[in-house]
Structure 1
């Protein structure tokens, strides 16, 4: 693996020179700044309110999730960031594992419905690229699919499926139209059992 890294770096550099559009560029309309765990915990629940089906996390539950997620180290340390527009207004949050030379794992990109999801995805990819990450992977919410499809160098790989069974029609309809928050911190990708060697 160690021998492959210099060759991969050289290949990446050559590819960037030949296909310039593959290199992420930070958007003008949004910028991303690091935040601490407490800031993420305080702001995240409000960004989930636009989903009909979503976790009912309180601060203690989110704090526990973060503490457990921090134990995973394969993709680098757990980090959080705030997206803001040019006027300083909050435009979203991101949670990810990342380190230079590693494949970043994006847990969540939380953007309010109707906001600049394209620019948010672009800003996050540009940040991970600037950190020197080898690439990034993560789960995409249905409402974000259109934004991610437009990002250069992004491709989709089906990995998991969800079966939803409920006697409540409102729950079934929300799931059918993709108005459900799943994956990321509401899933299991943050767990050490799914990414660490013991």
Structure 2
């Protein structure tokens, strides 16, 4: 019972973060999705069946990444981070949470097909893993996922970042490398 309560509180906390303006993170928007993509390539078995699944899953993941950006709002600040990049604040919104849940469901369905069924306890364990990955960045670097979960994570996150950059063209400046270190006083 305690596990379910903690999991419910963690999901609630994670979902509530989507309704607050938070600093855009290069780690979350760029580094982690590319890491997931690398893990996908490292775990992928190249055969015709997997290539077909990969292509279909890529289309689904791009659509989910697009959907997650629907309610996003960007707020500019006059501050800079320690690398001289402008600090931008992003509120992801309700569509992000719905999209996150849909990504989770697609992952569960893929697991169910691959494992020939899935139980309620396994669904809760997978939910716990996903919530932990969102709340604790270091959990993202575990290697226990299958190639299709790495692809789903990588492509949906990269698509989300891409569509956010299309929606907010000035967002890209928050991700660029800089040669000079600035502080808010340097402006």
TM-score normalised to structure 2 length: 0.26
Structure number with the bigger relative contact order (C-alpha 8 A, sep ≥ 6) is 2
More strand per residue: 1 or 2? 1
